[in-house]
A and B are shown apart, each in its own frame.
Chain A
Amino acid sequence: MDKYSNRDDLIAALTEDVSPVKRVRSSDGVALIAFATIIAAVVSIAVYEWWDGLLTGEASGYFLITHGLLLLLGAASGAGVVNGAMPRVGGQSSAAFWGALMVGVLPIGAALSLLSGHGNHAHEGLNDPVALMCLTGSLSAAAIVMVASILWLRRGAPVSIERSSWLTGIAAGALGTLAYGITCPLDTFSHVGLWHVAPVGISAVIGRLVVPPLIRW
């Protein structure tokens, strides 16, 4: 809109055009991101097939803990994305930060476990034959969640672009990996600790680099 020489003229012009607006509600954002995660899970199951071991009790504790932490991180960062669309000063939650730190412990533990030779040798962990599939599968699922998050932020009015971009990447990575993870039958600590956490870091960096120009207003 053009600048007016007189503020009263601008106000008169804006007032003339005013019409009722549909209020942006946080619950809409939560629903959108949750829906995108479900879509990502359905697509993952369609492509890679559901792993029965999740229901039969075959899944290891490492698998359940890792994906439980990804769910918490996804919820915390997703809430950050939702709130980031509503302008406010201060009062930003640090839940996603602490969640990311907790999840960050997993690859360190997995690497130490490999180095100390628990069951496998280090090169086996790094040469994991399905690692690439888990990375691409998780990142593809993350892309769906990321698109939904960006649409939400564009509907809102994010005022902390950098923070919202990081959170978008982390939420997409965590929820996307969770959505893909239910199809992966490999449940060793070295596999899930490395290859089901790496997509979160990669997605976070992608979010930081790609999202800002898309949500700036």
Chain B
Amino acid sequence: MRSTVWVTVSSEQRLPNMVADEPTFARLMIGAQDGDKAATNVLLSEAGLWLERYFRRRVPPHSIDDLVQDVLIAFYSKRATWDQSRPFLPWLAAIARYRWVDHLRKVYKHEGQELMDDDAVEDSEEEVVMARVSLDRLFGQLPDRQAEVIEMVKISGLSIREAAEKTGQSESLVKVNIHRGLKKLAMMVEKAD
């Protein structure tokens, strides 16, 4: 029987463009499912790098590490659900997207609460995440009135009142349009294949 020796490399030691390929991931994952510590360590490091790339195009830099850690924990705790007859990376991507949507949902809930409290003027960095996600592609699918006010309030930092004056919508309507637009964005991300 051929044995494999996995070499552990910390994230600081890696070259930026080195990421394992599908067969390597699959072999490491089989080892991880069998309880091989070295394989698990290398797998988690490689998956971390892959996830970093995955989220780099989707969320602001300051949120990437939190999400990567979140997915690594989810991935580790659900490792039994990977079927060896299927490719590994779509499995990992599905978990990454699920945690991403979960992250968006939390931001959205926080967002909705704030709009209800009539206190949407001061945005925290975290709240802006929602509005920045794949904006060009996603905003194209929102009604203009919703995209317009989300962009003004959540990206440009205008107050609800200023957005209302600029767009000619009432303040209540601006809030409703932001609320519905953000909800629709979260749904679009969730349903996208």
CB-CB under 8 A from A16, the residues of chain B are 37
State A200–B35 Cα separation when bound (angstroms). 43
Is the CB–CB distance between B72 and A89 below 8 Å?
A: no
CB-CB under 8 A from A86, the residues of chain B are 81-83, 86, 91
B159 contacts A by Cβ under 8 Å: no
**Nearest chain A CB to B29 CB, angstrom units:** 11
Q: Which residue of chain B has the shortest Cβ distance to A14 in the bound complex?
A: B76
Q: A15-B44, A87-B98, A89-B193 are in contact. Are A7 and B33 (CB under 8 A)?
A: no
Counting chain A CB atoms within 10 Å of each CB, which of B33, B34, B72, B78 scores highest? B78
A46 contacts B by Cβ under 8 Å: no
State A26–B10 Cα separation when bound (angstroms). 35
Mask, B65-104, CB within 8 Å of A = 1, is 1101110111010111111101000110111011000000
A117 contacts B by Cβ under 8 Å: no
B residues with a Cβ closer than 8 A to A are 10-12, 32-37, 40-41, 44-45, 48, 65-66, 68-70, 72-74, 76, 78-84, 86, 90-91, 93-95, 97-98, 190, 193
State A25–B70 Cα separation when bound (angstroms). 25
Is the CB–CB distance between A159 and B73 below 8 Å?
A: no
**Nearest chain B CB to A26 CB, angstrom units:** 7
Is the CB–CB distance between B41 and A89 below 8 Å?
A: no
Q: A15-B41, A26-B83, A88-B90 are in contact. Are A7 and B76 (CB under 8 A)?
A: no
State A18–B11 Cα separation when bound (angstroms). 20
Is the CB–CB distance between A14 and B34 below 8 Å?
A: no
State A3–B86 Cα separation when bound (angstroms). 30
Is the CB–CB distance between A18 and B69 below 8 Å?
A: no
Is the CB–CB distance between B40 and A8 below 8 Å?
A: no
A55 contacts B by Cβ under 8 Å: no
Is the CB–CB distance between A20 and B35 below 8 Å?
A: yes
Q: 30 pairs across A/B with beta carbons < 8 Å?
A: A3-B66, A3-B70, A7-B48, A7-B68, A11-B44, A11-B48, A11-B72, A14-B40, A14-B44, A14-B73, A15-B41, A18-B40, A19-B35, A20-B34, A21-B35, A21-B79, A23-B80, A24-B81, A26-B83, A85-B81, A86-B83, A87-B95, A88-B86, A88-B91, A88-B94, A89-B94, A159-B95, A159-B97, A159-B98, A217-B78
